[in-house]
Structure 1
Amino acid sequence: MVKFEITPLQPLYHRIIDIKTRRHHNVRDHNRRDDFFHPIIAILTSHFEKQSKTKHKMLQVELELEKLKHENFLMETEKMRLELDQMKFEQKRDEPRLL
């Protein structure tokens, strides 16, 4: 029967192995954290992209609305000018003419 003796190097070896496995576990934990955060970051990025696209579309619609308002303003102004001209013309026509 062979007896194994614990040499002074053996505890050191176990400490080195323990340190390596801890380091390895930390790397694994770090990977787990990355595996957890990557989907969250992707979700947030996707949300902000959709939000900015929605804002862009909203601004385009508002710009189109402002263009239509401006065109409407110009048309109403022209209509009022024509009505005023017509009123002036009728007023002149109805005035008695002095010869």
Structure 2
Amino acid sequence: MAATKAPPLKIVEPTYSVSEAAIRLNLRKEGEVNRNGGASKKGEKWLRDGVNLLGWPHYRLAGELRFSESDLAEIQELNRNKPETRGRRRQSNRRPAAHRAKTAA
């Protein structure tokens, strides 16, 4: 009888809460406070909206939103600025000066 292979060992990645993930992605600094003196929530809404509206990778453990290292790396890659679209000139709605001169005459 042939020997059966054991299934590959799965490694559990550490996970981070929304607040910790915002710090890991450098959306805010650890210990940062808001104007009222309370703990800052900067970046947390952006992460929650990305999960709920855009389907970003995440885990829900015990009803809590959690992110692994690979999830954070994928979110960072999804939001990377594309060099060909950055710094593009805006389209103007104004008509050329020659056209305005003809209509004014």
Where is the strand percentage greater, Structure 1 or Structure 2?
A: 2
Where is the helix percentage greater, Structure 1 or Structure 2?
A: 1
Q: Same fold (TM over 0.5)?
A: no
Structure with bigger RCO (C-alpha 8 Å, 6+ apart):
2
| TM-score, length basis structure 2 | 0.28
